Each structure stands twice: as structure tokens, then as C-alpha cells.
Amino acid sequence: GQQLNQSPQSMFIQEGEDVSMNCTSSSIFNTWLWYKQEPGEGPVLLIALYKAGELTSNGRLTAQFGITRKDSFLNISASIPSDVGIYFCAGRHNMIKAAGNKLTFGGGTRVLVKP
Amino acid sequence: NAGVTQTPKFRVLKTGQSMTLLCAQDMNHEYMYWYRQDPGMGLRLIHYSVGEGTTAKGEVPDGYNVSRLKKQNFLLGLESAAPSQTSVYFCASSRTRPPGDQPQHFGDGTRLSIL
């Protein structure tokens, strides 16, 4: 099956730091999505990217759709304690109805606060 | 706004027991999905549906069945639960396109333990 490699698997943040995470794929995607999941809840969409090279921001979050269509990254600027959670990338190949808008998810990046 | 509602939120089963997880969405979405989430593996698609009365297999369908008798509901069944099915199960829904892609909206999950 399709593989999305997400890194790092976990990271510690200190308030005010900028952090980055990325996803790479062995195949091309037409859409990249970034979700955040907090304990006991389902993933919530942060940013959606629809074109190669696209750079999109949502507050302190910025994500880019790689030119090759095989990667994407997410940056968090000036991190705060509530940024803690698990961040997932997800990619979609095509828009054929029978394919059902299916997503392939990365393994997640767990963001923790430095003790 | 309810969005995507999953019931139950928690359940413990014995090996061999059967049960049904219910997902309900009030957004009039065409597409619905069932995922399982295991530590370090992101979300994996079990089954999905592109409309009322239709279902299709995802990445990990074995041991599960689904039904979409009504547009707003998507049921996930375990006929004979196995310990390997211990996981957190997420339901999601999305609209069809156009215009543009429609991201998936997730419920808060059902935590299922099989003893």
C-alpha cells in the first residue's frame, strides 16, 4: 500500500520556538492535508493544499505542497503550550468519485513541551 | 453543531463477541469512512462509502463489515472480535466535489478493547 513517511516522530518544543515537520511519499499526491489531534478527540483539519508549490498559512501555521508533489511540510512559528498534540499529514491521489476522496495518512508527529 | 458523532465512546469486549459501532453525521455529506488508529501507525482506512447503499473496502477491511442504509449513518460491525482489533476507531465524512476538494471531518473516536 501507499506509504507516507512523516518526520520527526516526536519533538519537544519550548515556548517561542519555531518547529518544522515534513512528510514524504513514494508516489505523487494531488492534495496534501495537515491535521492536528488532541487527546481523546478526532483529527481536526489545519491546512489543505491543492496545488504543487502552494504555500498556505493559518495563523502561526504554514504549510507547503512540494514541487515534486511527493512531499509537504508544516511549520509552527512562535510555539505556545497549546500547540502540543499529534500532527498528521495526509495525501490524496485522485478525485474520482469511486475512489471516495480517500486519504493516506502519515504516522504522525507528536509535539511535546520541554520539561 | 454536532458534526460527526460516534457511539459508543468506549467499549470492552471478550474475544469472539460481536458489536456494532455507529457513526452519524448531520452535514449531509455523501462520503463516509471508518479508520482505525494504532500507536505510531497513523490512521488506516477500513471501509468507506461514497453514498447511501454503497460500501467499499479500504486498506485493512478483514474482520469488519459495514452498512450505509441511510445517508447520515455508517455502521461498522465486528462479527467475532479478536484482540488484534483492539484500537481506537474513527469515523469521518466529507462532501463530494466540486468545487475544489472537500476535506474529511472526524468524530471523536471509539476506544475498543478486546480481551
C-alpha cell at A93: 491521489
pLDDT at B64: 97
The dihedral over CA atoms of B85, B88, B89, B94, expressed in degrees to the nearest 10, equals: -150
DSSP-derived letter for residue A12 is E
Who contacts A104 (Cβ-Cβ below 8 Å, separation ≥6)? A1, A2, A3, A4, A25, A29, A90, A91, A92, A93
B98 compared with A17, residue with greater pLDDT? A17
How sure is the predictor about A96, in pLDDT bands with cuts at 50, 70 and 90? low
Q: CB of A99 within 8 A of CB of B49?
A: no
Kindly report, residue by residue over B39-49, the tens digit of the pLDDT.
877 899 999 99
The pLDDT of residue A86: 95
Reported as a single tens digit per residue, the pLDDT across A23-79 is: 999 889 988 999 999 988 999 999 999 899 999 999 999 999 999 999 999 999 999
Residue B69: CB partners within 8 Å, gap ≥ 6? B52, B53, B75
CA dist A79 and B60 (Å) reads: 36
**Residue for cell digits 463477541?**
B17
Cβ count within 10 A of residue A49: 23
User: Which among A9, A10, A101, A110 is the top mutation candidate for probing chain B, defined by the most B β-carbons within 10 Å of its own β-carbon?
Assistant: A101
| pLDDT of B1 higher than 60 | no
Q: Using an 8 Å Cβ cutoff, are B96 and B90 in contact? A: no
- B98 pLDDT higher than 50: no
**In this complex, do A100 and B49 lie within 8 Å of one another by their Cβ atoms?**
yes
Minimum CA–CA partner of B99 in chain A: A95
Q: What is the DSSP string of A24-56?
A: EESS--SEEEEEEE-TTS--EEEEEE-STT-EE
DSSP code string of B29-58: -SEEEEEEE-TTS-EEEEEEEEETTEEEE-
**Contact at CB, A101 and B96, closer than 8 angstroms:** yes
